[in-house]
Chain A
Amino acid sequence: MNAAEEPVIEAERYELFERPHYRFQVDRREFFKQLGCGLVVLCVTAPALAQESGGPRRRGGRGPQLPSQIDAWLHIGEDGAITVFTGKAEVGQNIRTSLTQAIAEELRAPIASIKMVMADTQLVPFDMGTFGSQTTPQMASRLHRIGAAAREALLDLAADHFKADRATLIIADGKVSKTGGAESVTFGELTKGQKLVKSAEHEGSVTPAADWKIAGTSVPKVDARDFVTGRHKYSSDMAMPGMLHGCVLRPTAFRASLDSVDTKAAEAMPGVKIVRDGDFIGVTAPDALTAEHAVESINARWNAPSQVSSSDLFDHLRKSAGAANGRGGGEDTGSIEEGMKAASRQLQATYNIAYIAHTPLEPRAAVASWENGRLTVWTGSQRPFGVRSELADAFGIPQENIHVIVPDTGAGYGGKHTGEAAVEAARLAKAAGQPVKLVWTRQEEFTWAYFRPAGVIDIHAGVRDDGAITAWECHNYNSGGSGLRSPYDIPHQRSQAHGSDSPLRQGSYRALAATANHFARESHMDDLAAAVKMDPLEFRLKNLKDPRLRAVLQAATDTFGWKTAKPRETHGIGLAAGTEKGSYLATCVEVLADKESGSVKVIRAVSAFDCGAVVNPNHLKNQVEGALVMGLGGALFEAIEFENGMVTNPHLSEYRVPRFSDLPRIEVVLMDRKDVASAGAGETPIVCVAPAIGNAIFNAAGVRLRSMPMVPDGLKI
C-alpha cells in the first residue's frame, strides 16, 4: 500500500504492448439478456502476437490456439437506440464525440441517436488504456468497421422487409427507404425481435475519408451542455448514501517507512475511524474537514533514506545512466567517426530537462463501495482496466469481483495511468464498511502522483559549410526515446536512450520524451544553421526529404510570414519541426525577449499539423491550440523542485502553469490529408513549442538557452 513500494512506472510504458489479462467471453445469450433483442456487431481482432507471427489471415476466423479479442461492440435495439461499447476513456480529448462520428458516418444516422458507453469495466470489452494517441488510429477505425458491418446487416434486413433488391435501397438519417419510394423503415423496426450477431473483422464497406459526411466535420462536443451547466458528474462529484470522506497520512519523504505512530487524538474525534495497514494510515470521517483534522492530529515518525535533490539532479542522471536501452533511437547508420571527418564544423552541447507535473485540474479522486466482497469504484483514469488490475492485486480478489467506472475525467495528459486514489479509497471503505470518497489535495497531486521524466541530452553534430549535416550523435539519459531519431537525412547517425536512476516517480506525459528530444534537436539544428550562416528554414529544408514534414514546414512558415517577418527590437522569431506517432508538425513563434527587463513572452504562434484525414477540424484545432499553451509552460517556467525526498513547490502558488496572460495569438493550419489514414493528434502538437521559443529567444537576444524550463526566473544574461 505504500506508494514508495509500488513498482516504478517506466517512462515509456505506454508504448509497451502487454497482452490483456482477460478476454470477454462471447456469449450471444448474454448480449441479448443484457441489452435486449436487436442487432449486435462485434469488432474482433487478432491478438498482437497473432498479427506478428505472420502468415495470411484467413477469412472468417483464425487458428483455435489464438483466441480472438473483442475490442468494441455495437447494439441496435428494438427501439432503434444505437449503443456503442468501448474501453476508451474521455479525458478532454473529445473522443466521445469523434468516436460517435465514426459510427454516425457508417450508419448514416444522426449523432444524437448514438450513445457511447465508455470506460466501464463491467459493460465494455477490455482495453489497455487511452494513451499513445491510439484512440483514433485504432478504436475509431474499428468503430468504422463495426458501423459499416451494421449498415450492411440493416440493409439485408431491409431488403427482406421491402422484398426488394439491396441495390435499390437507401440508408440515411437513421432510416432505410426504397429509391423513389415514400415508404421508409426505422432501424428499430428492422431489428425488432431479432437476435442477430455479426462480426466486423475486415474493412468491408468502410466509407473512405474522401466521402465522409459526418466524420471529418466539426461536430460539437456531444454532451457539452452538461459541462456548461455543471451537471456532468466527474468521479469527485459522485455521492452515495452513507458515504464517508477519507484522508490519507502521507510520509514526510519518498521511500520512507513508518517508525512509530500515535493516533489517539484522531481516535477521540467523533465519527473518525483510523485505518492502519502496514505503512498505510488513513482515516474516514463524516465530512472532509474532520477527516483532514484527524490526519493532522496523527503523530507519526518516518524513516527515510537520504535522497538526491533537484540541485544535483542532472549530475545524478548522467552518473547513474546505464547502457543504451534500445528505445526510440533506431539503428545506427554509417559511422559517426567518418561523418565527423567529413564535417567542416562540429557542435557539441548538452540539454537539461526538469521534471514537470501534469497538473490536471481535477486531482485524483475515487468513490469506493464494497458489497458482499464485490468492489465498485468510480475514479478518473486513462486505464480503467489497469486500475482494476491494481485493485485486484491490492486486495487479492478476482478481477471479476471489481467494477471500475470512469466518468468523463477532468484531464489526464498521460498523468492518470494509475489508480492510487482508487486503491486508497477502497482500502478505507473496506475498513469502514461504508462507501468512501477520497479526493487528493492539489498538494498530494503535486507530490504523490508521478512526473514527466527529467533528462539530460547530449548532441554532437557535424555540418559542412554548404549546410549538409554529415553526422549526428545523440544520447538521452533518463527522459526516454520518443522522438529521439532525427527525421533529417543524415548519412551518419547514432541516437540512443539510456535509463538512469530517477529520484522521483516518473511516468507517461503527453508526447513523452518527444518534447525533450525535439527541444534538444531543434535547438541544435538552429545552432548548426547559425554556424553555417543559413536561414533556419532553408537549413532544415536542405537536410530534409520527408514530403509531409516539408509540407508542414512550408505551411507554417507561409502562414507565419517567416521570410518577410521583421520582428521589432527585443522580439525574435523561431521555428521547429518534427514528426511523432504518425503525425507531422511545424511551429513558428514570435517572442518578446527583453534582456533589459528580463521579461519573455510568446506573442504569436503558428502550428501547421498533418495527422492524415482530419476527423473533427474544430476539436483538432482545439487540441493543437491547447498543446501550444500547455507546451509553453514546460518550455518557459514549469519545474518540480525537490529536496531530499520531498517536493518543495507543491502548490499552484509555487508551481506556475500557463494562464490567460501567457497566451499568444495562435493560428493553426490543418493539412487534412484525406488520402492518409487518421493518426492520433492529442500529443504531437506539443513537441515543437519549446524549441521554437528557444530559437526565437536566440533570434531576439542572441542567447541560447539549453534547459527546460528556459526562463523560470526571467531572462538572465
Chain B
Amino acid sequence: MAKVSDINVNGADAAVDAEGERTLLSVLRDDLHLTGTKYGCGEGRCGACTILLDGSPTRSCQVAVGSVGRRKVVTIEGLEQEGQLHPLQQAFLDHDAFQCAYCTSGMIMSGVALLRKRKNPSEAEIVRFMDGNICRCGTYQRIIAAIKQAASKPEASR
C-alpha cells in the first residue's frame, strides 16, 4: 500500500508520513499524538478505538490509514468546541458514567454517532447500537442514562 502524507482529522488536514497498511488507530495515536482513541483488542470487538469516519462510527484498529483518503476523521479530541463540551461529554460527567474510563472515548464517539442518527433513541435502540462497545467496569446503566440525557438537548446531534 502506498504511503500516506495527509489525513483530515478534527476539521483540519494533518501531515503524516505513514505506510498505508498501518492502522488509522496507530497513526492517530503514535504519529499525531491523538491518544484519546484507545487500543483495546485490535479486532474491532471492544469499541475503545471508535472514531467517526465521515460521520459513521468506525473501529480505527480495523482501518488501514491508506484507505482513509479524503474522508473526514473525528476523534474524541475533536468533540469539544470552543471550550464547550459536547452534550454527551457533559452527560457522562453528570452521570459519572465511567470508572477507569479507558472505554469512555469510544463510548462517547459511538454515542455521538447514535445521537446524530436518532434524535430520541429508545433504550432498546441504545443497547443495540452500543453493544459493540465494552465497559469492563460495568457502567452500562450509567452510559445509557447519559445518552438519554444528551438526547434531550437540541445540540446533541452536532
Query: Which A residues have a C-beta under 8 Å from some C-beta of B?
Result: 91-94, 220-221, 224-225, 227-234, 236-237, 239, 245, 287-289, 359-363, 408-411, 413, 439, 441-443, 618-619, 622-623, 625-630, 651-653, 657-661, 663, 665-666
Known A-B contacts A234-B102, A237-B29; the reply to A666 vs B77 at CB < 8 A is no
Known A-B contacts A92-B101, A220-B96, A230-B36; the reply to A361 vs B127 at CB < 8 A is no
Residues of A with C-beta under 8 A to B38: 234, 236, 361-362, 410
A362 adjacent to B100 (CB under 8 Å): yes
- A237, A239, A622: the one contacting B99 at CB < 8 Å is A622
Residues of A with C-beta under 8 A to B143: 660
CA distance A409 to B39 in the complex (A): 14
**Nearest CB to that of B77 among chain A residues?**
A230
B93 adjacent to A228 (CB under 8 Å): yes
A229 adjacent to B100 (CB under 8 Å): no
Residues of A with C-beta under 8 A to B141: 625, 663, 665-666
Known A-B contacts A228-B93, A229-B80; the reply to A626 vs B133 at CB < 8 A is no
A-B contact pairs, 29 of them (CB 8 A): A92-B101, A221-B101, A224-B92, A225-B93, A228-B101, A229-B85, A229-B89, A230-B37, A230-B77, A287-B22, A289-B21, A289-B23, A360-B136, A362-B40, A362-B100, A362-B102, A408-B100, A410-B100, A411-B136, A442-B41, A442-B43, A622-B142, A626-B139, A651-B41, A652-B43, A652-B134, A658-B138, A660-B143, A663-B127
Known A-B contacts A359-B136, A439-B39, A625-B139; the reply to A230 vs B105 at CB < 8 A is yes
Residues of A with C-beta under 8 A to B30: 239, 245, 287-288
CA distance A653 to B135 in the complex (A): 15
A91 adjacent to B100 (CB under 8 Å): yes
Nearest chain A CB to B6 CB, angstrom units: 18
B102 adjacent to A361 (CB under 8 Å): yes
B45 beta carbon closer than 8 Å to chain A: yes
When A and B form their complex, which 7 residue pairs have the shortest distance between CB atoms, in order from nearest? A230-B36, A92-B100, A629-B138, A410-B102, A626-B138, A230-B76, A227-B101
CA distance A405 to B143 in the complex (A): 30
B45 adjacent to A653 (CB under 8 Å): yes
Known A-B contacts A230-B75, A236-B39, A629-B140; the reply to A221 vs B98 at CB < 8 A is yes
A663 adjacent to B140 (CB under 8 Å): yes
B76 adjacent to A409 (CB under 8 Å): no
**Nearest CB to that of B34 among chain A residues?**
A230
B43-67 CB mask vs A (1 if < 8 Å, else 0) is 1011010000000000000000000
CA distance A625 to B76 in the complex (A): 26
A661 adjacent to B127 (CB under 8 Å): yes
Most chain B C-beta atoms within 10 Å of own C-beta, residue among A289, A619, A651: A289
Residues of B with C-beta under 8 A to A239: 30, 33, 35
**Nearest CB to that of B146 among chain A residues?**
A228
Q: A225-B85, A629-B138 are in contact. List 16 more A-B contacts (CB 8 A).
A: A94-B99, A221-B96, A224-B101, A228-B90, A228-B92, A230-B37, A230-B76, A287-B19, A362-B100, A441-B42, A626-B99, A627-B138, A651-B41, A660-B133, A661-B127, A663-B144
Residues of A with C-beta under 8 A to B135: 361
B137 adjacent to A92 (CB under 8 Å): yes
B68-105 CB mask vs A (1 if < 8 Å, else 0) is 00000001110110000100011011001011111111
Nearest chain A CB to B109 CB, angstrom units: 10
CA distance A287 to B137 in the complex (A): 31
Nearest chain B CB to A716 CB, angstrom units: 24
Residues of B with C-beta under 8 A to A361: 38, 40, 46, 48, 100, 102-103, 134-136
Residues of A with C-beta under 8 A to B102: 92, 234, 360-362, 410-411
**Nearest CB to that of A358 among chain B residues?**
B136
Residues of A with C-beta under 8 A to B99: 92-94, 411, 622-623, 626
**Nearest CB to that of A411 among chain B residues?**
B100
Nearest chain B CB to A261 CB, angstrom units: 25
B156 beta carbon closer than 8 Å to chain A: no
Residues of B with C-beta under 8 A to A359: 136
Residues of A with C-beta under 8 A to B142: 622, 625
Residues of A with C-beta under 8 A to B29: 237
CA distance A49 to B6 in the complex (A): 62
Most chain B C-beta atoms within 10 Å of own C-beta, residue among A93, A233, A237: A237
Residues of A with C-beta under 8 A to B42: 441-443
Residues of A with C-beta under 8 A to B100: 91-92, 360-362, 408-411
CA distance A623 to B37 in the complex (A): 25
B155 beta carbon closer than 8 Å to chain A: no
Nearest chain B CB to A360 CB, angstrom units: 6
B108 beta carbon closer than 8 Å to chain A: yes
Known A-B contacts A225-B93, A411-B100, A625-B141; the reply to A651 vs B46 at CB < 8 A is no
Nearest chain B CB to A546 CB, angstrom units: 28
B13 beta carbon closer than 8 Å to chain A: no
**Nearest CB to that of A236 among chain B residues?**
B39
B89 adjacent to A228 (CB under 8 Å): yes
Residues of B with C-beta under 8 A to A442: 40-43, 46
B45 adjacent to A630 (CB under 8 Å): no
Residues of A with C-beta under 8 A to B43: 442, 651-653
Nearest chain A CB to B90 CB, angstrom units: 8
Nearest chain A CB to B11 CB, angstrom units: 16
Most chain A C-beta atoms within 10 Å of own C-beta, residue among B19, B45, B126, B142: B45
Most chain B C-beta atoms within 10 Å of own C-beta, residue among A232, A287, A623, A659: A659
Nearest chain B CB to A454 CB, angstrom units: 20
CA distance A9 to B84 in the complex (A): 47
CA distance A120 to B46 in the complex (A): 30
A289 adjacent to B22 (CB under 8 Å): yes
A659 adjacent to B35 (CB under 8 Å): no
CA distance A230 to B131 in the complex (A): 21
Most chain A C-beta atoms within 10 Å of own C-beta, residue among B38, B41, B85, B98: B41
B131 adjacent to A660 (CB under 8 Å): yes
Residues of B with C-beta under 8 A to A657: 134, 136
Residues of B with C-beta under 8 A to A441: 42
Residues of A with C-beta under 8 A to B77: 229-231
Nearest chain B CB to A182 CB, angstrom units: 36
Residues of B with C-beta under 8 A to A410: 38, 100-102
Q: Kindly identify, within residues 7 to 33 of chain B, every residue whose CB is under 8 Å from any CB belonging to chain A.
A: 19, 21-23, 26, 29-30, 33
B113 beta carbon closer than 8 Å to chain A: no
Residues of B with C-beta under 8 A to A413: 136
- A93, A231, A651: the one contacting B36 at CB < 8 Å is A231
B130 adjacent to A626 (CB under 8 Å): no
CA distance A361 to B50 in the complex (A): 14
Known A-B contacts A361-B103, A627-B138, A660-B127; the reply to A228 vs B108 at CB < 8 A is yes
**Nearest CB to that of B45 among chain A residues?**
A652
Nearest chain B CB to A168 CB, angstrom units: 40
Nearest chain A CB to B22 CB, angstrom units: 5
Nearest chain A CB to B119 CB, angstrom units: 20
CA distance A441 to B45 in the complex (A): 13
Residues of B with C-beta under 8 A to A653: 43, 45
- A232, A287, A363, A629: the one contacting B101 at CB < 8 Å is A232
**Nearest CB to that of B143 among chain A residues?**
A660
CA distance A287 to B36 in the complex (A): 19
B93 adjacent to A220 (CB under 8 Å): yes
Nearest chain A CB to B15 CB, angstrom units: 16
Nearest chain A CB to B78 CB, angstrom units: 9
CA distance A239 to B42 in the complex (A): 20
Residues of A with C-beta under 8 A to B144: 660, 663
CA distance A626 to B39 in the complex (A): 22
**Nearest CB to that of A97 among chain B residues?**
B96
A630 adjacent to B138 (CB under 8 Å): yes
B130 adjacent to A660 (CB under 8 Å): yes
Nearest chain A CB to B85 CB, angstrom units: 7
